Amino acid sequence: MPEIRQPSPPGDTGRGTMTHGQMMDAHTHRRGQLLYPSAGALATTTERGTWLAPANRVTWTPPGFEHAHRAYGETEIRRIDLPVRFCRFLPAVPSVFAVSPLLREALLALSDGRPRRPGPRHRLRGLVIDELVDAPPQELYLPEPVDDRLRAVTSLLHGDPAETATLRELGRATGASERVLSRLFQDELGVSFRQWRSMLRVQHALVLLGEGLPVTTISSRLGWVNPTSFIEAFVAVVGETPGRYQAGLSRR
């Protein structure tokens, strides 16, 4: 396991870096925490699932919510801690938000290390909260099941996201019927089997795009029928094409 390093110094804001594959073990915070990967991508994992924040997203973790992190690519992280009194304006569960140009500049300004008087710092923090309140969550979120039958299926797909087996075929391999598994996906995870697998692949695609792989290579490696199918699935989740997202990483 890579050496674990704190991504930022003590205080209510900070900046730091994590190397590819570097992890931070499960922990909690007394304050709410915003982590903005201005380069790279950061996964936040809880017992409920994994939220992935690439470089055009910011991840939110409420106070007292146990979580762990993993970096994909060389990841620069900007950290903003929010006192509990501000946290009531944001979701009670971990979330990922799109970063508007205004929000990006506010996050960078708060975490640039410059000393600021309480008034300007308070106003910048208020601006961040206002931007997040007005922005709908961009849920790059992969829920994880509790039911053992469902866990057996999702474990197979985690091991090989390119697996093309149908739910019926996966059910045969894990000893559960297609009908039962389909119901469990909807009842426990709130998504269909197809949606869950697509989200798993998109999360892996975000990592591979950050590594500079071509769209056609990623499409083939992750099991999509063709690049067009990959692009459509990616746009549905991320809101832009893989090529545009990758170009944006280069600019950042």
The full 3-state SS of 86-122, as one line of letters, equals: HHCCCCCCCEEEECCHHHHHHHHHHCCCCCCCHHHHH
What class is the 145-251 domain? mainly alpha
CB-based contacts of 59, cutoff 8 Å, min separation 6? 34, 35, 36, 42, 44, 51, 53, 94, 95, 96
CATH class entry, domain 13-141: mainly beta
Lowest mean pLDDT among 47-51, 172-176, 201-205: 47-51
Q: How far apart are the C-alpha atoms of 180 and 182, rounded to whole Å?
A: 6
Which segment of 114-123, 135-144, 208-217 scores lowest on mean pLDDT? Answer: 135-144
The boundaries of every CATH 1.10.10.60 domain in the chain are 145-251
Q: What tokens does 233 get?
A: 């699935």
CB atoms within 10 A of CB 158: 14
Q: What is the predicted pLDDT for the residue at 36? A: 93
pLDDT confidence of residue 250: 64
State pLDDT tens for residues 159-188: 999 999 999 999 999 899 999 999 999 999
User: Average pLDDT in the 9-20 region?
Assistant: 73
CATH 2.60.120.280 location in the chain: 13-141
Q: pLDDT tens digits for 223-240?
A: 999 999 999 999 888 778
The answer to whether residues 84 and 33 touch, using CB atoms and an 8 Å cutoff, is: no
Determine the pLDDT at residue 3. 33
pLDDT value, residue 6: 40
Condensed to tens digits (0 to 9), the pLDDT of residues 62-109 reads: 999 999 998 877 888 999 999 888 899 998 888 889 888 899 999 999
Phi and psi at residue 31, to the nearest 5°: -105, 165
Q: Calculate mean pLDDT across residues 37-65.
A: 87
pLDDT of residue 4: 32
Number of residues assigned to the chain: 252
> pTM of this prediction?
0.73
